[in-house]
Structure 1
């Protein structure tokens, strides 16, 4: 095993973009093959590169405490390097030089190790970069109002400065980063090839900046996979926000592919080899045994129990500003090991205040049906209705509406939710159901006054097709209880708009709900912005 040498590069990289953190998740999930034989162990051990621990800040947030059930939450920072060194220019183009970390995902694994949420941090987010260590041992001064991806370039190390980015994330979030993994273009391409390709959906033909993609569903690997997650121009408004949505969809598909293939040696050995070659990791993960042990702890997480959310954001000129108090609420939820709707994963109970109906009364959410919780005191018969499978389609042409609705339904106690592809525009909402699911459909209709109920023999479970009567403005009204919060200062906010320490929301903040993508969302849904 070798420590990464961090000699300063002679010149700064000139605007090269898009680091690939996505393959790091596959590495974390499947490197458990590492212990199958001493010879293979030694091979993987030689593959792994670690970054020097001296650059990790001495003053850090405390480590998470174990849950009453015995498990402990884990925060993993997945980064990418868009360096063109070491042959990466054949995949990304450009010249050799310092890489950037233009893709960053903080993966929070809950204490039960059966649920996870990945928080995407836009590369252009304006943040405070704390003091970071240089190659000669000196430390920089704190710098405010800096682009997030600049932290990786501090010191102009040939292999980047992951310790500085880790320090920056801990300063931004108040969460302790337990592990950091970095992957480059070559490693990402190798991982996608090792799993036999990854299913993706291209929103439209792309022929720009050396990237050529054809519209539609397809399986990509190697160069095509790199192109898919790099593509920005010619899609939506060509912003990084839309690209992050496609990267989240890609990561979901990659995880699904690995889980579908299973964890047999035929899958794991080539994948472990590809993954370890691609990784630079923190010292605590710097051996095949440690990586295998860590990966083993993640294998019970199902795709339906993973969500992605983009850090609440808004454009600030050409850059991205953090939206408060939504961002602070997000960090508070994760620090308390709560799901995005404020619930605990061990019991399914929530602390988000709800508007509970009086006995015998029906819930009365606003027109979207993305209602506040109707209360946790449900009988066994009602529990069975909430367990019915529900598929959500967006026919309102309101971007992200299906994902927000799924999040709200989970907050109302529904457990089996699938997000389907967008469908042709409808004016009104439709609830279709298998004949045996009539009671479940009627229960769901309580949340959607005015929705059409229709029995359909070809439907499995209940299908909710959201019409234009469930448009975005009404969704935000429902999420805020009595109307859209135009001030941006929701429950638990301090005077400056940031959330009070430990504050939990009284409803799902729009900055979280609008930017959430469940991992089991249809491949072709919600892939562009603008």
Structure 2
């Protein structure tokens, strides 16, 4: 047999094997998509209000637009969930509610937690018999999910309530139950979470400290309120935010590969209830692909500004309305725009007196320099505010460290190899002490009592103040003036924060 004949035979064999592999993968993919489609449960779109906030308009024809996703955690014991949550089957509540705002650049996101006890107006909602309820004022937010007393809840009513509250158009609503939370944690091989203290009550047993949770322990961590942390729903929301951050980190660390995503997708879809816009596997995959470029450092969690009203909660104004306005306008928490460009705005602190060079674009090396921001005072939200200032300047590799109260002066410590980036950091915090620390793996910014969130001014007689008539950190129109309103800043948690940091509201 000639060499040319052998080459042709090998070539035909190789092509044949490749064809078999392609067909096998396509066939398996088709089978798997069919399986996922059969897993997914959708809720009736007929229950969504007809009068809704307007859909966002692209800045230019064909440009991407922001997307708002309502994530609900159901405590329904129906369909076998009582095995994980205890109790009897009955009407489910949505004790977890997060509005995830994905910016138009699809590289940044903010997740806003709404306290379950928040007093809100529940608008007209559709019942299973086709009738619509009358609007009701001063109702607990989580009761919207119970309208109609359906065992699986009323996601459309909660969506209507969120749209009424925020003025945001909700593009998608996703409900996950106990089984879904347990299965997803299992599918990624466990999620790293921090338990503030030993818990041994109500059938829940958790050990204090940082650990990997999955299955029942993951559900216990997410749903426990009494006997853990400060026993509050607000503290529970912070733990849920930290858990979601760790899960995102785990998935991104494993990569968006088939071995990672297929088990996760299979586990999730068995326990998801979604709107019809996400009602097929292909739609879910398309959505997942649209957000895969969002880095953990570019995800921020916020608890809607709140205060106790007896045993209930009311949102703090004008800060809550400022937060909704920022998201409606697709702006970051410090008022910067990401729409259409995916680029960062100039430093929010830039202005008269800003050190020379503070407005020049960062080099790629400077932007990627590792930074750790530490709250050196203990004031809630201080590190988050400093982190937003750094992000607005263009720094991308930012981590929040644990609180370290007792510092009077703001301090920037760095290894000499990172001096160029450290100089840019120092320029953002006037008066900060620059300290060389050879061997440091990151530039550490410790915010002292001399630090003021961007946008505050110092009056010689009365200290830090805002523009006349404006809320803290806001302009006269209620929007941030180069800073973050206090009610937002003190309720902010970056997704890449130390999972053991700031787990209670007290």
**Alignment correspondent of 2:230:** 237
Shift of 1:425: 5.0
User: Contact 1:434 / 1:456 at 8 angstroms: preserved in 2?
Assistant: yes
CA separation of 1:36 and 1:180: change in aligned 2, threshold 3 A:
farther
How is 1:3-82 mapped onto 2 (pairs within 5 angstroms)? 37-68=29-60, 70-82=63-75
**Alignment correspondent of 2:3:** none
Equivalent-residue separation in structure 2 for 1:41 and 1:524 (angstroms): 38
Comparing 215-224 with 230-239, greater Cα deviation is found at 230-239
CA separation of 1:451 and 1:506: change in aligned 2, threshold 3 A:
closer
Q: Deviations over 1:185-225 (max 9, x none)?
A: 01110110011000111122222332221111110000000
**Alignment correspondent of 2:99:** 106
Matching of residue 165 in structure 1 with residue 161 in structure 2:
no
Equivalent position to 1:205, from 189, 193, 198: 198
Comparing 256-265 with 341-350, greater Cα deviation is found at 341-350
Shift of 1:93: 1.1
**Alignment correspondent of 1:12:** none
How is 1:75-224 mapped onto 2 (pairs within 5 angstroms)? 75-224=68-217
TM-score, structure 1 normalization:
0.82
Equivalent position to 1:525, from 496, 501, 504: 501
**Alignment correspondent of 2:402:** 421
Q: Deviations over 1:376-419 (max 9, x none)?
A: 97235789756643211234333433222212332344443221
Equivalent-residue separation in structure 1 for 2:285 and 2:364 (angstroms): 38
| Structure 1 spans left out of the alignment, 5+ residues | 1-32, 364-375
User: Contact 1:124 / 1:148 at 8 angstroms: preserved in 2?
Assistant: yes
Comparing 243-252 with 346-355, greater Cα deviation is found at 346-355
Q: Deviations over 1:491-523 (max 9, x none)?
A: 4567xxxx5xxx554531111111111111111
User: Contact 2:196 / 2:209 at 8 angstroms: preserved in 1?
Assistant: yes
Q: Deviations over 1:153-180 (max 9, x none)?
A: 0010121000000000000111110000
**Alignment correspondent of 2:411:** 430
TM-score, structure 2 normalization:
0.86
Comparing 394-403 with 200-209, greater Cα deviation is found at 394-403
Across the two proteins, how many residue pairs are aligned to each other?
A: 472
**Alignment correspondent of 1:295:** 288
Equivalent-residue separation in structure 1 for 2:452 and 2:201 (angstroms): 36
CA RMSD of aligned residues (A): 2.7
User: Contact 1:56 / 1:163 at 8 angstroms: preserved in 2?
Assistant: yes
Equivalent-residue separation in structure 2 for 1:342 and 1:217 (angstroms): 35
Matching of residue 255 in structure 1 with residue 231 in structure 2:
no
**Alignment correspondent of 2:352:** 357
How is 1:344-423 mapped onto 2 (pairs within 5 angstroms)? 344-345=337-338, 346=341, 348=343, 350=345, 356-358=351-353, 362=355, 378-380=359-361, 388-423=369-404
- What SS does the corresponding residue of 1:103 show, helix, strand or coil? strand
Rg larger for: 2
**Alignment correspondent of 1:334:** 327
User: Contact 2:345 / 2:393 at 8 angstroms: preserved in 1?
Assistant: no
Q: Which has the higher contact order (CA 8 A, sep 6+)?
A: 1
User: Contact 1:116 / 1:305 at 8 angstroms: preserved in 2?
Assistant: yes
Shift of 1:116: 0.9
**Alignment correspondent of 2:272:** 279
Matching of residue 455 in structure 1 with residue 436 in structure 2:
yes
User: Contact 2:346 / 2:392 at 8 angstroms: preserved in 1?
Assistant: no
Q: Deviations over 1:106-127 (max 9, x none)?
A: 1111111111111111101111
